[in-house]
Structure 1
Amino acid sequence: MTNHETPNYLTFSQKLRAATTSFAGIAIVWLVLILLFSLLEIGLSGYTHGLPSGFFTLTIWSWFSDILFWWKWLFLLFIIYIPLYILSSVIAKVAFKSFIVFFFIVQIGLINYFNTALVLLGADIFGYSLQEIQQTVGASGGVSLMSVLVFSILIALTVLILKFLPKKLNLSIYTSAILPSISFLIFIFGISPSLRLGSLQSDFANNLVVNKSDHFYQASYNHYFPEIYETDIYADSYIGNYGANNTNTIAFEYVDETNYPFLHKEVTGDVLTPFLNQAETPPNIVIILVEGLGRAFTNEGAYLGNFTPFLDTLSAESLYWKNFLSQGGRTFAVLPSLLGSLPFAQNGFLGMGQEMPQQLSLLNILQKNGYHTSYYYGGDASFDNMALYLKNNNINELNDGGAFPQGYKKLPANNGFTWGYGDKEMYRYYMASRPVNKKPQLSVLLTVASHSPFLIDDAPKYAAKFEERMSVLGFSEEKKDAYRKYQNIYSSILYTDDALKGFFDDYKKRADFNNTIFVITGDHRIPEIPMSTKIDRYHVPLIVYSPLLKRTAEIASISTHFDIAPSLISYLKNNYDIKSPELTTWMGQGLDTTTAFQNLHHAPLMQTKTDMIDFISGEYHLNGDALFKITEGMGEEPLQDEDKKNQLLSEFNKFKIRNSQFIKEKKMIPDSLFTSYTLQK
């Protein structure tokens, strides 16, 4: 037996005392390292993005988060460590220290991810295939040699500190026993959500101080062991619309909840006719989904400044919803939400893959009514199962990056990876391949240039435009320096805006321009620029532009992607005799065209494929355990109102019950309804 082994002559009580003090020494060193890594993270964030709050404030909240995380784990580790130590002190110490080293390997990766994407990594990583993860990491720059070097140094220092520092600590048994005892109490009684919630100046600041491992492991646990909503269609909590408590909203009348939990009578009114002249033939519809187009930097009143001068001009000639919301925080949600007003299922509707049930959307309903449907995307449409969804909806033409002929240039590569063709190239291909004919057309275009790593053609040109734009906006030199940390992002936004200007300049030359309705929105807000609030991630503009417009309007009321398809169908049905079903599964109630600020809608929002914690109802936003009041301009104020919070929780849970039944049964509509409004192949 070596000197490092637990001596056999010790009594069980003595071994237990030795194990407890040994555990406490290593645990305290682990805590010290966690706190030091938090200081490094705050310093890294300050260098990369600037600090959203004072260094001292961020440090205190970060350490508070770290200590709570550390205490949550201690009891579990303690009950593993003690028997191991009694068996062999060497095995126990090596195991505990190896766990700590592994913890920091993961923690460094999570810190680096947040510093790059400004999004907490949770269980959403499990919603992507290995190929999709490789593509995303590659296109975002991969892993640099400098990152590997810094990582290696940090892990080496961690190993050295764990090897030598615990030996220097001489803790009493009483001090040592307090640590797992407090952890045990936390394990039994939990931690009040109010203790975990920071009240810092922005969502970026609140996310920065979160222990990244704590968030990742908690989100992963919730993903694999989700809260189960058992469906009882006769229960009081299930009966009625999940937004019924919002007395101003339009309630759905469900017709067969047992078999089709979202099937209801169509209730959407026609709100677009008062704004549009009627043409002789059904109009073409062109839907442009702009990657990352958030209101934070788009159009007049953007709190980060208006970096889309063309869209701002176009908005003044359009119906413009300035307080509009995307349904998701990533691109995975936009097609089924906007085109089909569909529920999220488990990991987003597209995440159902081959199990996507028959459903109705703008695509198959309009195709049944004589429209030609097409989709244009400069990337790979198999990503997120977009192509599968489009084919399930009988798309006539699917034009993604693989369909572009020679003569079109891809975006600059980053470590050999590129998302595909830029916005200007996609618009050029659309113009070249989309003929003018008598048959009405529905075209959906999804851009890709304003996506990490934000590499664009003519980068020096748009970098100069960025500097010029900051001067036009009247930025001080200090503010300009802060914005230059995101020069590549703002340059890509200006490129995107310029590409849209070119697209409309070209489209005006087409013979069918005067009979076309354009719908422009963002799939979500770019997350790589720090966000101010929880709802900022979803805040995007909606612009409906057309030569058919007889009057324009700036609309302050809130609507979402869910509301677009029902309103377009209702408008076309009312004016052009489009045949549409009397029973639908639309999640949305239709666009609100009230110019004053209000919200008549209730809707879930899904930030990532595994993170559905957001729900809006009226002028309130539920985010996990936190309740916010939505203010005019889409700001948010924390609200302590248990009655209102419980109301939103009740409404959200009603949706989750329906969604859980849908996940189980995978049924949207009866076969007869599908065949009536879908051309058969």
Structure 2
Amino acid sequence: MKKTVNFDSRYSLVIAFSLWFLTFSFVLRFVFLFWHFDEASWRFLDLIKTIFIGSFFDFGVVSFILFPSILYITILPNKLIGSFLDKCIVYFFSFLTLFILVFTFLAEITFWEEFKNRFNFIAVDYLIYTYEVLSNIQESYNIYLLVSIVIAITVFFFWLFKKKSIYENVFKNKVNLKTRLTSLSISLFIVFLFLKFIPNSMAEWSSNRYNSEISKAGIYSFFAAFRNNQMKYERFYTTVDNEKAFGMIKKNLSDDKTTFSSDKLSIHRTINDTATNNEVKKNVIFIMVESLSASFMEKNGNTEKITPFLDSLVTKSIFFDNLYATGTRTVRGMEAITLSIPPTPGQSIVKRPENHNLFTIATVFKSKNYTTNFFYGGDGYFDNMNSFFGGNGFDIYDRGRGSILNDDIKTKRYNIDDNEVTFENAWGICDENLYDKVITIADKQYKDNKLFFNFVMTTSNHRPYTYPENKIDIPSGTGRSGAVKYTDYALKQLFEKAKTKEWYKNTIFVIIADHCASSAGKNEIDIANYHIPAFIINSSEIESQIIGKQCSQIDLFPTLFSIFNWKYESNLFGKNVFDPSFEERALLGTYRKLTLMKNDKAMILSDQKKQTFNKWDKKTNNLSTIPMDKTFLEETIAWYQTADYLFTHKLLK
């Protein structure tokens, strides 16, 4: 006699799918827990809550997945049950659903390996930029093996369902009207309940970020991020009166060289860093290095010797030893540098609508008669970079695959040709090729007697960590350490070539990371993973030194403008770190968490109008909650509220 499940109805497949999905999700949750055995909380109550809350969200996910099946059962007449049409539909969609879910489970594991998070807004972005992502997956993993595993698991469970007579039950049992309507009503109620009343943030119950993330369901998190990729500050975060907020920020930005333009809700001002009109005009090559954590450098305790060139620059430059990135994505670093603005919740401004013709550092450079250019080794369509930089006054040099600039963009776009490329992977050409292009254009600009500001975004220090062979002593594609060492090697080559050029003596080089190689930890904001290095090199206006002041990416160019003794109009939130009135602080966040840090104190604003005040132990990287400080809280709110207000009210134009 054939074995059957302990139910015998048209809904057999729905129940079997539910049990299969919940079991797989349960196992995956423990995989993640053991993955971070030493960092996740294993206290009994924490473990129970992690599993219970996770199972609750899994139940919600499976309810969404199976709703179409229940609707199909409801509307299909009894006379068609078991028909050829019925069998084709049921077999096809059950196999397809199994395949997609198995693929999703494996995708969650690879995503967790990279970001230590359930699916979030990054996964949403990756769904948009399919070429880069699929190429990256193909170059990083054995794609044929992965697909084979997915197919094998899918076929196995499809076969198992047949062996257990589940499909036989589905095709032989009729359904009365009462059962149909009852099942549909219950299903509708559960779907409505989760849609309306169960936000993804309900899973964020623990002070240990790993437990909160493991409590989530990947698919649920993905669609929550898809719905909330842009967040209105006043709706989700604690606010203060706008006049009070702007008053606090103006006070912070005030010094004896600053004159504000008005008393209105604005930070527009004139900054006069020279009393003698002795302004310095030097070319600037600015290099934003992909994923360059401060922890890679020997100065910060790294013993791998993977940044020998950058280590050598520490005492030969203005080196920022205590500087923090504003975010965890490349577009956040670009936003912080170009706009000198705290990270607003949701998407980076680089990716938002209405982000053209803003006041940026290019505005300042153009006021001094510089040409402004953006160089990227990949296709600048990715992450909306070409639109943002092109729409804010930069000419574009990228490795485009046919993408064009928007019609309203007045700047030009130039392609990096095949004959200029010796190595390329999913994300773009190798750093050496990119720097060669920068030098070629700098030669032309110098010949044309043009001052230039060249913004360069690298790609080599990114998974799949591949680069030209025989350049360094670590084989290509073997891991992050090799990519970092090649990145350092390419920078050294850039300087060796640049030093042979006539324009070198009149050129400042600025190097900074876009963000750290990893940003996730057990705390809701993992502060150590925002610490990045920054250098100002080849400046004769000020002596080489190590700056120990705590500061932010947004302070880098206001500091450079001060070194140049410039008088300029400003709508920037950053400040010159050399100014005696500079108050040490860093602004950092995720797309939902917004933080103001001063020394070892960190105020974290969360959506749902929540906030926590913490003390940071730098040695252990732990955050511990301390009593609320109202003044500190209001200042934190002021930074983010004013930044959001200026952008949403189009006052950064």
Shift in CA distance, 387/145, structure 1 to aligned 2, threshold 3 Å: same
Contact persistence 2:431–2:458 (CA under 8 A): yes
TM-score by length of 2: 0.72
- Residues 390-441 of structure 1, C-alpha deviation per residue, up to 9 Å, x if partnerless? 333333x53223633464224244xxxx333211122223223312465433
| 1:614 equivalent in alignment to 2:594 | yes
- Residues 39-94 of structure 1, C-alpha deviation per residue, up to 9 Å, x if partnerless? 45567x5xxxxx66289959997775342122246489789989989999999xx9
Match of 2:225 in 1: 219
Q: Tell me which moved more, 57-66 or 419-428.
A: 57-66
Match of 2:485 in 1: 494
Q: Tell me which moved more, 501-510 or 242-251.
A: 242-251
The 1-side partners of 2:330 and 2:627 are apart by: 33
Within 5 Å, give how 1:157-236 maps onto structure 2. 157-158=156-157, 196-197=205-206, 199=208, 211-223=217-229, 226=231, 229=234, 236=240
| 1:114 equivalent in alignment to 2:98 | no
Among 558, 571, 574, the residue aligned to 1:585: 571
The amino acid across from 1:265 in the alignment is R
The amino acid across from 1:580 in the alignment is Y
Contact persistence 1:361–1:565 (CA under 8 A): no
Contact persistence 1:338–1:562 (CA under 8 A): yes
Within 5 Å, give how 1:555-574 maps onto structure 2. 555-572=547-564
RMSD, matched Cα: 5.1
Q: Tell me which moved more, 543-552 or 400-409.
A: 400-409
Shift in CA distance, 293/285, structure 1 to aligned 2, threshold 3 Å: same
Contact persistence 1:246–1:617 (CA under 8 A): no
The amino acid across from 2:602 in the alignment is Y
Match of 2:397 in 1: 399
Kindly state the Cα deviation for residue 352 of structure 1 after the two structures are TM-superposed.
2.7
SS in 2 for 1:329: coil
The 2-side partners of 1:490 and 1:433 are apart by: 31
**Structure 2 segments unaligned to the other structure (5+ residues):** 1-6, 167-188, 400-413
The 2-side partners of 1:191 and 1:461 are apart by: 45
TM-score by length of 1: 0.69
Match of 1:448 in 2: 459
Shift in CA distance, 585/419, structure 1 to aligned 2, threshold 3 Å: same
The 1-side partners of 2:161 and 2:639 are apart by: 49
Contact persistence 2:57–2:216 (CA under 8 A): no
Shift in CA distance, 250/58, structure 1 to aligned 2, threshold 3 Å: farther
Contact persistence 2:117–2:520 (CA under 8 A): no
- Residues 232-278 of structure 1, C-alpha deviation per residue, up to 9 Å, x if partnerless? 9xx953232379499978699986798xx554335x685xx9xxxx9
Kindly state the Cα deviation for residue 588 of structure 1 after the two structures are TM-superposed.
2.0
Kindly state the Cα deviation for residue 37 of structure 1 after the two structures are TM-superposed.
3.0
Among 532, 546, 550, the residue aligned to 2:538: 546
| 1:68 equivalent in alignment to 2:63 | no
Contact persistence 2:54–2:217 (CA under 8 A): yes
- Residues 515-556 of structure 1, C-alpha deviation per residue, up to 9 Å, x if partnerless? 332211011112399899723443210111225155332222
The amino acid across from 2:555 in the alignment is D
Contact persistence 2:328–2:519 (CA under 8 A): no
Shift in CA distance, 213/127, structure 1 to aligned 2, threshold 3 Å: closer
Q: Tell me which moved more, 27-36 or 646-655.
A: 646-655
The 2-side partners of 1:613 and 1:231 are apart by: 11
Match of 1:638 in 2: 623
Match of 1:600 in 2: 584
- Residues 193-227 of structure 1, C-alpha deviation per residue, up to 9 Å, x if partnerless? 7983264xxx7797567643453344345448x56
SS in 1 for 2:300: coil
Shift in CA distance, 540/590, structure 1 to aligned 2, threshold 3 Å: same
- Residues 364-389 of structure 1, C-alpha deviation per residue, up to 9 Å, x if partnerless? 32223222333332222232232233
Shift in CA distance, 649/34, structure 1 to aligned 2, threshold 3 Å: farther
Shift in CA distance, 221/304, structure 1 to aligned 2, threshold 3 Å: farther
Match of 2:296 in 1: 297
Contact persistence 2:498–2:504 (CA under 8 A): yes
Match of 1:504 in 2: 495
The amino acid across from 1:349 in the alignment is I
| 1:238 equivalent in alignment to 2:248 | no
Within 5 Å, give how 1:241-320 maps onto structure 2. 241=245, 244=248, 262-266=266-270, 282-302=281-301, 306-320=305-319
Kindly state the Cα deviation for residue 190 of structure 1 after the two structures are TM-superposed.
9.2
The 2-side partners of 1:352 and 1:627 are apart by: 28
Shift in CA distance, 281/104, structure 1 to aligned 2, threshold 3 Å: closer
The amino acid across from 2:576 in the alignment is G
Match of 1:144 in 2: 143
SS in 1 for 2:428: coil
Shift in CA distance, 254/72, structure 1 to aligned 2, threshold 3 Å: farther
Shift in CA distance, 340/502, structure 1 to aligned 2, threshold 3 Å: same
Shift in CA distance, 257/25, structure 1 to aligned 2, threshold 3 Å: farther
Contact persistence 2:200–2:221 (CA under 8 A): no
Among 432, 440, 451, the residue aligned to 2:440: 432
Shift in CA distance, 103/657, structure 1 to aligned 2, threshold 3 Å: farther
The 1-side partners of 2:441 and 2:75 are apart by: 74
Q: Tell me which moved more, 505-514 or 54-63.
A: 54-63
SS in 2 for 1:638: strand
- Residues 279-302 of structure 1, C-alpha deviation per residue, up to 9 Å, x if partnerless? 995222221111111112124114
Match of 1:675 in 2: none
When the two structures are aligned, how many residues end up with a matched partner? 579
Q: Tell me which moved more, 403-412 or 147-156.
A: 403-412
**Structure 1 segments unaligned to the other structure (5+ residues):** 7-18, 46-50, 168-179, 467-485, 670-681
Match of 2:130 in 1: 133
Contact persistence 2:343–2:640 (CA under 8 A): no
The 2-side partners of 1:195 and 1:118 are apart by: 15
Percent of pairs with identical residues: 16
Kindly state the Cα deviation for residue 638 of structure 1 after the two structures are TM-superposed.
2.0
Shift in CA distance, 151/528, structure 1 to aligned 2, threshold 3 Å: farther
SS in 2 for 1:289: strand
The 1-side partners of 2:432 and 2:160 are apart by: 54
